[in-house]
Chains A and B, each alone.
Chain A
Amino acid sequence: MSSEYFDKKNRYSWKSLLKNSFSGHQNWPQARRMATLQSQYDVIIIGGGGHGLATAYYLAKEHNVGKIAVLEKGYLGGGNTARNTTLVRSNYLWEDAANLFEHSLKLWEGLSADLNFNTFFSQRGVFNLGHNLQDMRDIERRVNANTLLGIDAYVLNAQEVQDKIPILDCSKRSRYPILGASWQPRGGIAHHDAVARGFARAASHLGVDLIENCEVIGMDIAEGRIQGLETTHGYVKANQVGVVAAGHTSVLANMAGLRFPIESHPLQAFVSESMQKVLDTVVMSNAVHGYLSQSDKGELVIGAGIDSHLGYGQRGSPHLIEHTAAAIKELFPQFSRVRMNRQWGGIVDTTPDASPIISKTPIKGLYFNCGWGTGGFKATPGSGHVFAHTIAHDEPHPLNRAFTLERFSTGRLIDEHGAAGVAH
């Protein structure tokens, strides 16, 4: 796919690499345009994480909606986008969810070319381990459901898992015996910062104003319609507003006088020192709650669980790290002496059915995309794509029609706790 919206000077290619090498790489053009807040926009996106930037990109690329801005209270991609463990997969249980995540996975597969930016998307496969008979039944059910929808999914027995991941302890004497796994070969990881930067650069070239250090502090709503926003950079008029604020969804919902079925929890991750490559895939275990992959830099990237209590402080409790580290050590005994380098937390927006909300609201012109909880990174392109459609048409895309706010009064929930509630 060509990116005709980049002029020659800005397109990355082997030619531009060669040309810039002659001037010692000192003259590369700015990756994106610096913008200041104007007094009025047709569409404003609140939240400059991956999802918000993707929304702005697809709005500008595929829909004719006029002038667009993204308002970010910190720096672009500094929220959960910068803090997640970057797993990408689409093996969800229910049709609505699996189709949405598969749409996203397909977009990932062409994303680097589309954005003219390397997102380091690496389809190294994802294993979900089963440790008891019930786990294996659930795995078979999910793999069958995936297969029926045309999503790649396999059930492997313990020996097949052992053959593919030699350093995993699949022996019978292990503390959490492994009976088998589900395997999605097209799953994998991507580079979190690269995704945000790629979308930001492409959106900026399509004319989107990206405004950093600009916090939305109030909403101007009159006659049942959004009129504008109060921000730390002053008042700005808007015809339509899309909120993509992850952990801060409820804070913004309160500004609009809306109630959401969202709870914000700290979620942690940690990485080890860099070491030689020993793991070329992604391993997740719901039952013992640990999952890991090895980054291109050689660090083990390990995800822990959420704190049970609500919290907006971007840090989590030590006992959760301990729990996960203990589980990882049982699965991979040889990691017992690996030193951990860094640990951090993000704030995730969880919903009662562990599925997102991508929806219109009772207020005209105001839309929310939230509730991705512990597992929204993988959905970044798909989420932005269907949300852009929802805003541009004032009508959901067929793929997000089920992900309404109303489902919490009609009862048509999309219960993904088995696939998404714990692991990511």
Chain B
Amino acid sequence: MLNIYCPYCAEKRDEQEFRYAGEAYIARPERPDEVSDEEWGDYVFMRSNHKGLIWEQWEHVAGCRKVVVVNRHNVSNVIQATYTLIGGKEAFLAREQTTQGVV
């Protein structure tokens, strides 16, 4: 069972208060009507799903109902940090650059 810190509520809360909302920071194609079926399929369905530190979204449904970004190791379940959607983006991009997305 995870304990997730919600940056909006400023409290660590039980995982059951949250709903999982998948991989974070998947970029939606800027012009959906111009991309190929493969590019659109990639956006909708393909996932990194790598083993290690991942960036994921959780919605605090039984609390403030906002979406938070969690940086968690998916083998040990240790949570490195939690961010707001905007707050996490910079850290995410910085990490992506140094590791090319593979952690």
The answer on A and B forming one complex is yes
Q: Cα distance A365–B82 when bound, in Å?
A: 42
* Alpha-carbon separation in the docked complex, A216 to B20 (Å): 31
User: Majority SS of interface residues in chain B?
Assistant: mixed
Q: Are B47 and A317 in contact (CB under 8 A)?
A: no
Q: A318-B1, A409-B41 are in contact. Are A311 and B74 (CB under 8 A)?
A: yes
Q: Which residues of B contact A352 (CB under 8 A)?
A: 45
B20: chain A residues within 8 A (beta carbon): 308-309
Kindly supply a per-residue 1/0 record for chain B positions 12-32, scoring 1 wherever the CB is within 8 Å of any chain A CB and 0 otherwise: 000110011010000000000
User: In the assembly, what is the distance between CA of A259 and CA of B15, in Å?
Assistant: 29
Which A residues lie within 8 Å of B72 (CB)?
Answer: 309
Indicate the size class of the contact surface on chain A: 20 to 34
B16 contact set on A, CB distance < 8 A: 319
Assess whether B50 is in contact with A408, with CB atoms less than 8 Å apart.
no
B44-103 CB contacts (< 8 Å) to partner A: 44-51, 54, 56, 58, 72, 74-77, 102
Whether A310 contacts B49 in the complex (CB less than 8 A), given A259-B42, A318-B1, comes out as yes
Q: Shortest Cβ distance from B92 into chain A, in angstroms?
A: 16
Q: How many residues of B contact A (CB 8 A)?
A: 29
Question: By CB atoms of chain A within 10 A, which of B1, B38, B41, B76 has the most?
Answer: B41
Contact partner, B50, options A254, A313, A411, Cβ 8 Å: A254
- Return the chain B residue nearest A307 by Cβ: B20
Task: Report yes or no: A262 in contact with B47, Cβ–Cβ below 8 A.
Answer: yes
B37 touches A409 (CB 8 A): yes
Cα(A248)–Cα(B42), bound, Å? 20
Name A residues whose Cβ lies closer than 8 Å to a Cβ of B: 248, 250-251, 254, 259-264, 308-313, 317-319, 352, 408-411
What is B's interface to A at a CB cutoff of 8 Å? 1-2, 15-16, 19-20, 22, 37-38, 40-42, 44-51, 54, 56, 58, 72, 74-77, 102
